[in-house]
Structure formats: C-alpha cells, structure tokens
Structure 1
Amino acid sequence: MSLIRVLPVLLLGTTLLAGCSSAAKPGASTEPTAAEDARCNAESLQALVGKSQTQALVDQARQQAGAKTARVLHPQDAVTLEYNPQRLNIHVDDSLVIRSVNCG
C-alpha cells in the first residue's frame, strides 16, 4: 500500500483513540467521594457463619460491613469475578445457612 492510502487510516485511528482517553474533565475532582472510597470490612461478620440467611440479616450485615452492596451466593450460582471493594458477599448452602462472608 502506498503512504497516501495508509496515512488517512492512521490519522483516523489516532483521532478515534484520542476520544477514548480517560483525562478528567476541567473542574472535575479526581479525589474519590466518601461513598466511592468506602470499603467493605467483613471481619466483624464472621459470627454470622452457621446462621440462617434472611433479608433482614443481609441488610444488617451490609450496613455493619460498610458495604455499598451485598449479594447472596448459592452453591450453583454463576458469579462475576471482578473485585468490588464496596461489595459484601454472603455464601450460603442449599439450606440458606451462611457458610462464609467476605468482601469483593
């Protein structure tokens, strides 16, 4: 291919990639807000292991852990593997008995 044909394609590609940059908008703060910076802490929730899972218990555990969200994971559930430091995971068995609690 000649340079005359390749150059416009390269320029277009560069322009498209420049639009994907993650630079902060002018005037936008780069500091995380208190809600974004909150991290889940499941250390104090280990006493829940062996208890029956209820919605009230899940809500209370989420608040106590300081988590933004909570999810109950059953043995055969398909789960996403991305780590979310603001999420509480409550693992239950088929009888809805809590087997483990962790963040992520």
Structure 2
Amino acid sequence: PRPKDFPPGPHGIPIFGNALQLGKHFCKSALDLQNQYGDIIGVRMGTYWTVILNNPEDRREAFSKPEFCGRVGFNPIMDTTVEALNSGLAFSQGVKWVEIQRFTLRTAL
C-alpha cells in the first residue's frame, strides 16, 4: 500500500512497481503523469517509493535543502546502474552532493 501522506500517483504492478510504466522515455512519461496527478507524483520503482518533481520551483526547493542529501540504498540489481550514475545530483551523497548541488543552483536553475 501507498505510504501515508505520500503524493498521488499511478498504481504499480507487483515487484516492478511503476518502473515498466515509466519505461525508456522517463521524462515524457513523467510529464504525462503530471497532467493526471499534478506536479508532485509518487511512484514505486521496484520496491522503493519515489517522488517525481515536475515543477522547476519544487526541484529548486528540494535540491537546496540538505535533508535531500542522503539517499536510500537501492537493491542489488540497481547497484551497477547507481554506480554509473553516482556523479549526478539525484544519486550522489555527502560532500559530493553538496558540490554538485551548489554547481546546479548556480548554473542550471
């Protein structure tokens, strides 16, 4: 079941959650879901609940807060993917996250 006070979103399927629904074209799928559920969407990627922020202001606010620095570990299947993506803002942690976050706020947002 969806966690209490979790953002609305589509129902997933057992084991995979919404991962197959979001598919290869994640950004397009997220925008389609935005039309149905709003700017903040709750989905399940495998066994992990995840929030998608479609509004740039929401992303700016979230990535400017240190509470977003720590990330929940992924399952073993995802570990190799996460290792490859570890330099990104969404997947980095600690000092590396702070450095990337500062750079992103100065240049991209």
More strand by share: 1
More relative contact order in 1 or in 2 (CA 8 Å, sep 6+)? 1
Structure 1 or 2: larger helix share?
A: 2
Whose Rg is larger?
1
TM-score by length of 1: 0.26
